[in-house]
Amino acid sequence: MDISFFAAAVVAGTPLLYAILGELLTEKSGQLNLGVEGMMLMGAVTGFRAAIATGNPHLALIAAMSAGGLGALIFAILTVSLRANQVVSGLTLTIFGSGFASFMGQGLMGEIIPSGMKLYFSDFKIPLLGDIPILGQVFFNQGILVYTGYILTIIAGLYIYRTQTGLNLQAVGENTSAADAAGINVSFYKYVHVIAGGLLCGLAGAYLSLVYIPSWQENVTAGRGWIAVALVIFCKWNPYRVMIGAFLFGGLDIIGFRLQKFDFNISQYIIDLLPYVVTIIILIIVSIRKSHSGSAPASLGVSYFREER
Amino acid sequence: MLRMSTRTDCSLQEAVIIRTSAIALALISVGFFITLLGHNPFSVYLSMAEGAFGSAYRITETIRKAVPLIIVSLGISLAFRLRFWNIGAEGQIMMGAFGATFCALNFQSLPSYILLPLMGFASILCGGIWGAVPAYFRAAFRTNETIFTLMMNYIALKIITYLQYGPWKDPGALGFPKIPVFTENAVLPSFFGLHVGWTIALLLVIIIHIFVNHTQRGYEINVVGESENTGRYAGINVRFIIIYTIFLSGGLCGLAGMIEASGVNRTLSVEITRGVGYTAIITSWLSSLRAPAIIIVCILFASMIQGGTFIQMAFQIPQSAAQILQGMILFFVLGSEFFIKYKLSIIRESRIEAKD
């Protein structure tokens, strides 16, 4: 396996990175949003449409993020204000998002991204860091959105563990009524972080349709949103671990394609199973070991109603 | 100031009114959207209804689409009663169809009165196992079943793709990747103009309704769904109930897969589910997990799907508009449940102060 494989794994892992970070922020506030796949699809199609219409990468990314954020806003209204069941609301968001994407994606097949935009997203070497042997080639010879991913991961970590708002956020997710009693505006925290999560999921989708693929295909996410939800558990709700999970699964995502060269005589469809099977195995291992650590936010998935204790 | 309190006095009639107005609001909002697209929403909805119920043929088509939806919704509602979020119906349908197809292709010489029950049995077994595997891990280790069941969908899809393009490819199809068509003895007979699946669906509604409300097992499922601890204190074997129920849930989905493969497509392909596994999540929630309501909601949704294909021809509105409409309806109904559970009352500031 050569170095280019690891560099490609980072690229394939970047959409996962954004989506995991988004879902992690959401879950820290105690809301379990299973609509990641739907928000990613909404972002992917909106970003692609905006890219073709404007040719401007910033506008395309903003459009994609707004679409993801809009999906998250619907989820927040339903689950925070109206206390609807979070699991079902998230599932509905995914169903709605995939309908939205296939509706908006009508006629986009075969369209291509303007070349100026391709240039904007193309790889460039970071001075100094890019010259480190091996690591430099894998991590620091990438496109702008990969670097943004690193930075956002660090910001998320600092925010959650080192700032007052971040600590408040954790309080909301861990013990909502205590946070409420301490004077934290619980609903506001939930809304902000659910929507922030949606923005990141929209960006994850845009990365797929604008950079990774880059063309429009039906169901472009292929279950990555769900894998992201599973990887939040794998990362134990710790933003710094997100990179490990994302790039590991980026590697699994492309390994089948790479193995083809070696003529292993295994069907492509069977190798394609790998990310899904490994996700299941990870879920099982984490759940077997969880009995004594328990790292999920304690109020995750529970609707909060002040008068109901 | 708005004050929110729990209410317990919501009658069934009120609940129905609230839900119906939620659906109406969803139709109105999508109507705005249709207007933005430059169409008249009334004529679009009208032709949707016409596409679904306008002729005997269309009604048959609508019911044909409702049959798998009803059976899968029954399966999902069993799982949801347990608060087991089975979103693996797609995979369970596919594996059920796989089991049925295996029998149909390998035991072609059997007479149809033996082969068809055998296919049905195989489909329930395969779909049931596909559900029971995540159920076992959930019961034993509390493994997250939502993601587990969903991942099983992708695995099933890849297996069927592998079979369709590999070992089960029809040698007579000139290289075209398709699985051979079933022989006549493996096809469900028709009954009053439609394959016998609709009768099976109706019978299952009755059976599941009785099972859930009038048997001890059904009662145990409801208890465990309310609280696993209560179930444990009451001496119920919670692990067994989870695995047993989800086996039934997956088995029902598997049977729907057999009915689709044998009664409609007469073969197996990767498109066998047509999204029924996901739509059924919506329909079973809208029916409040009640079997009789499932019939009504599923026919409504089937008419949207059938009507959706019609408006695609008539107005060039993509069929996926129907999917958006379904999502919107559930959004509104989910939101409306707030008004069933809680009561909002307006109180003047002064009275709060006086109370303090």
pLDDT tens sequence across A86-134: 988 998 999 899 999 989 998 888 888 888 888 888 888 888 888 888 8
pLDDT in the model for residue A265: 66
In the predicted model, is pLDDT for residue B349 greater than 80?
A: no
Mean pLDDT score across all residues of chain A: 89
pLDDT in the model for residue B1: 64
* Residue B99 covered by a domain: yes
The Cα-based distances of B253 to A244, B117, B152 in angstroms read: 37, 16, 14
- In the structure, what pLDDT confidence band is assigned to residue A305 with cuts at 50, 70 and 90? confident
Q: Which string of DSSP letters, residue by residue, matches A210-242?
A: IIIS-S--TTTTTTHHHHHHHHHHHTTT-HHHH
Is residue A267 within 8 angstroms of chain B, CB to CB?
yes
Closest residue by Cα to residue A218 from B313, B271, B199: B271
pLDDT tens digits for A9-60?
999 999 999 999 999 999 999 999 999 999 999 999 999 999 999 989 999 9
* Residue B173 covered by a domain: yes
pLDDT in the model for residue B337: 85
In the predicted model, is pLDDT for residue A167 greater than 50?
A: yes
Max CA separation in chain A (angstroms): 64
The Cα-based distances of B154 to A34, A58, A174, B91, B158 in angstroms read: 17, 34, 33, 7, 6
Closest residue by Cα to residue B326 from B313, B307, B339, B341: B307
- In the structure, what pLDDT confidence band is assigned to residue A1 with cuts at 50, 70 and 90? low
Provide the phi-psi class of B267: left if phi over 0, else alpha when psi is between -120 and 50, else beta.
beta
- Lowest average pLDDT, out of A244-258, B107-121, B250-264, goes to A244-258
The Cα-based distances of B265 to A279, B119, B195 in angstroms read: 33, 15, 11
Q: Distance between CA atoms of A278 and B92, rounded to whole angstroms?
A: 20
Q: From the CA of A166, how many Å to the nearest CA of chain B?
A: 27
Cβ contact, residue pair A223, B151, below 8 Å: yes
In the predicted model, is pLDDT for residue B354 greater than 50?
A: no
Q: Which residue of A has its CA nearest to B162?
A: A269
Q: From the CA of B84, how many Å to the nearest CA of chain A?
A: 10
Closest residue by Cα to residue B127 from B97, B151, B150, B166: B97
pLDDT in the model for residue B149: 93
pLDDT in the model for residue A263: 65
Q: What is the ipTM of this complex?
A: 0.88
pLDDT in the model for residue B211: 94
pLDDT in the model for residue B249: 96
A247 Cβ neighbours under 8 A, 6+ residues apart:
A9, A10, A13, A17
* Residue B338 covered by a domain: no
Closest residue by Cα to residue B256 from B74, B113, B83, B79: B74
State which amino acid sits at residue B213. N
In the predicted model, is pLDDT for residue B356 greater than 50?
A: no
Q: Distance between CA atoms of B4 and A53, rounded to whole angstroms?
A: 46
Say which DSSP state B190 is in: E
- In the structure, what pLDDT confidence band is assigned to residue A62 with cuts at 50, 70 and 90? very high
- In the structure, what pLDDT confidence band is assigned to residue B353 with cuts at 50, 70 and 90? very low
Closest residue by Cα to residue A177 from A36, A307, A10, A23: A307
In the predicted model, is pLDDT for residue B234 greater than 90?
A: no
Count of Cβ atoms closer than 10 Å to residue B348 Cβ: 9
pLDDT in the model for residue A11: 93
Sequence-ordered strand ranges (E) for chain B: 2-6, 190-191, 194-195, 342-346
3-state DSSP helix/strand/coil % of chain A, to nearest 5: 70, 0, 25
Q: Which string of DSSP letters, residue by residue, matches B129-164?
A: HHHHHHHHHHHHH---HHHHHHHHHHHHHHHHHHHH
The pLDDT > 70 percentage for chain A reads 95
pLDDT in the model for residue B214: 93
Sign of CA pseudo-dihedral A45, A50, A52, A57: negative
Is residue A98 within 8 angstroms of chain B, CB to CB?
yes
Joined together, the tokens standing for residue B226 give: 């309310």
**What H or E segment, with its residue span, contains residue A142?**
strand A141-142
Cβ contact, residue pair A307, B6, below 8 Å: yes
A153 Cβ neighbours under 8 A, 6+ residues apart:
A17, A21, A239, A240, A242, A243
In the predicted model, is pLDDT for residue A6 greater than 60?
A: yes
> Domain of B283?
71-298
Number of domains in chain B: 1
For A78, the closest of B87, B161, B335 (CB atoms) is: B335
Phi first, then psi: what are they for B347, rounded to 5°? -125, 150
Closest residue by Cα to residue B100 from B208, B271, B256: B256
Closest residue by Cα to residue B66 from B171, B200, B159: B200
pLDDT in the model for residue A29: 94
Chain B CB contacts of A230 below 8 Å: 144, 147, 151
pLDDT in the model for residue A291: 56
Give the number of A-B residue pairs with CB atoms closer than 8 Å.
134
**Across residues B4-13, what is the average pLDDT?**
74
The pLDDT > 90 percentage for chain B reads 43
* Residue B51 covered by a domain: no
Cβ contact, residue pair B161, A269, below 8 Å: yes
* Residue B103 covered by a domain: yes
Joined together, the tokens standing for residue B204 give: 């299952």
Cβ contact, residue pair A91, B87, below 8 Å: yes
- In the structure, what pLDDT confidence band is assigned to residue A256 with cuts at 50, 70 and 90? confident
Q: Distance between CA atoms of B22 and A276, rounded to whole angstroms?
A: 37
* Residue B132 covered by a domain: yes
* Residue B15 covered by a domain: no
CATH of domain A3-290: 1.10.3470
Cβ contact, residue pair B147, A87, below 8 Å: no
Joined together, the tokens standing for residue A66 give: 């707004």
Sign of CA pseudo-dihedral B343, B348, B350, B351: negative
Who wins on pLDDT, A159 or B311? A159
